[in-house]
């Protein structure tokens, strides 16, 4: 009995020690999300993949936030309506819930507000909220999904974006090797990866890239020590605040699954993770990393790739007799 008690005491002490070690780290493991309304998530998934929310009937949320490629399109800037070139790199939709705001400049405070933006943006889906509601309401097969999710079949833009946001909230990527290390599995990462993490911390990277998402919780100037040179005209938070001191200030990107979400930075100008590490060290921290340090930090960053969402592709209901006909090649209307 005494041996059993001693064993339990030792085990308890070890668990407390592991918890203390984890608590001391500036990064937290990311956990799966509890689904409270499966019907709302299912409807949101359908709408996330629904191209008829766009003017052309061709572009869906998944077009720019492809769940097969880390929640991005792996393009410098996204392709919008009539092959329009987007003004900024498309951030990942994975682990996007719980950020301080949405979009690079933070103009949307919630996922639902973010979801509403591209629908009416002429460079993206190029529809209107009124048309989006009209289209979805005209498709008979959606009625039972809205009724199950909301209690009745009414379609409005608030419900559309709320459902999409609830689906996106579930798109988390747990079980990254680094998370396993944080939870006590010291064999989950290699010595090189651990060295990279130590450099990452000691350099001050965790001042901005911390918490469960390693970012998304603050806004920082791009080019703290030295200016960042780019031909991209995006002004960052200045476009919202109007203050010149906010020029080139952007939401800190999340580093989860960073090896999948190239190209990097708001302008999508850098395709190599190693190069992005070098640039960030130089411009943000005033550090000129050696090749070995860059390789080590890059190795650490790759341990942040977690389990990708296993999403069963939805079968969307067919258009109804009153559903508008789509013509992707229609000429743009001029006022």
SS3 27: strand
For the four alpha carbons of 281, 286, 290 and 292, in that order, the dihedral sign comes to negative
Rounded Cα distance between 156 and 142, Å, is 12
Residues whose CB is less than 8 angstroms from the CB of residue 290 and which lie 6 or more positions away in sequence, other chains included = none
Check whether the bond before 249 is cis (ω within 30° of 0). Answer: no
- Is 124 one of the annotated active-site residues of the chain? yes
Rounded Cα distance between 214 and 206, Å, is 8
34, 42, 113, 124: the catalytic one is 124
CA distances from 196 to 133, 193, 210, 292, 295 (A): 49, 5, 15, 9, 8
Dihedral angle of Cα 129, 97, 235, 48, to the nearest 10 degrees: -40
> For the chain, how many helices (H) and strands (E)?
12, 2
Under 8 Å between Cβ of 281 and 288: yes
SS3 329: coil
DSSP letter string, 65-109: S-TTTTTS--SSS-B-GGGPBPSSPPPP-TT-TT-S-BSTT--BS
How far does the chain reach from its first CA to its final CA, in angstroms? 86
Residues whose CB is less than 8 angstroms from the CB of residue 296 and which lie 6 or more positions away in sequence, other chains included = 192, 193, 195, 196, 199
* Active-site residue list: 124
């Amino acid at each position: 009995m005494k041996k059993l008690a001693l064993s339990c005491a030792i085990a308890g002490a070890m668990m407390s020690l592991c918890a203390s070690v984890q608590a001391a780290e500036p990064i937290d493991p990311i956990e799966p999300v509890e689904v409270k309304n499966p019907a709302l998530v299912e409807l949101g998934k359908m709408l996330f993949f629904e191209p008829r929310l766009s003017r052309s009937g061709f572009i869906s949320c998944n077009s720019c936030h492809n769940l097969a490629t880390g929640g991005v399109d792996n393009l410098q800037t996204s392709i919008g309506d009539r092959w329009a070139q987007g003004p900024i790199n498309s951030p990942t939709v994975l682990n996007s819930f719980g950020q301080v705001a949405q979009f690079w400049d933070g103009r949307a405070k919630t996922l639902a507000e973010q979801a509403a933006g591209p629908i009416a943006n002429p460079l993206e889906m190029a529809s209107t909220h009124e048309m989006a509601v009209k289209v979805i309401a005209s498709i008979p097969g959606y009625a039972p999904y809205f009724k199950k999710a909301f209690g009745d079949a009414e379609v409005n833009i608030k419900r559309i974006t709320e459902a999409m946001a609830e689906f996106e909230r579930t798109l988390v990527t747990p079980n990254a090797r680094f998370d396993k290390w944080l939870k006590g599995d010291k064999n989950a990462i290699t010595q090189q990866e651990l060295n990279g993490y130590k450099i990452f911390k000691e350099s001050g990277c965790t001042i901005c890239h911390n918490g469960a998402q390693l970012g998304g919780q603050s806004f920082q100037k791009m080019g703290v020590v030295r200016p960042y040179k780019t031909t991209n005209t995006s002004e960052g938070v200045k476009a919202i605040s109007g203050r010149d001191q906010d020029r080139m200030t952007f939401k800190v990107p999340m580093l989860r699954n960073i090896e999948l979400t190239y190209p990097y930075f708001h302008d999508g100008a850098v395709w190599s993770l190693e190069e992005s590490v070098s640039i960030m060290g130089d411009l943000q921290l005033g550090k000129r990393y050696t090749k070995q340090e860059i390789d080590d930090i890059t190795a650490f960053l790759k341990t942040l790739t977690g389990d990708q969402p296993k999403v069963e592709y939805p079968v969307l209901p067919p258009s109804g007799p009153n559903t508008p006909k789509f013509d992707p090649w229609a000429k743009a209307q001029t006022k």
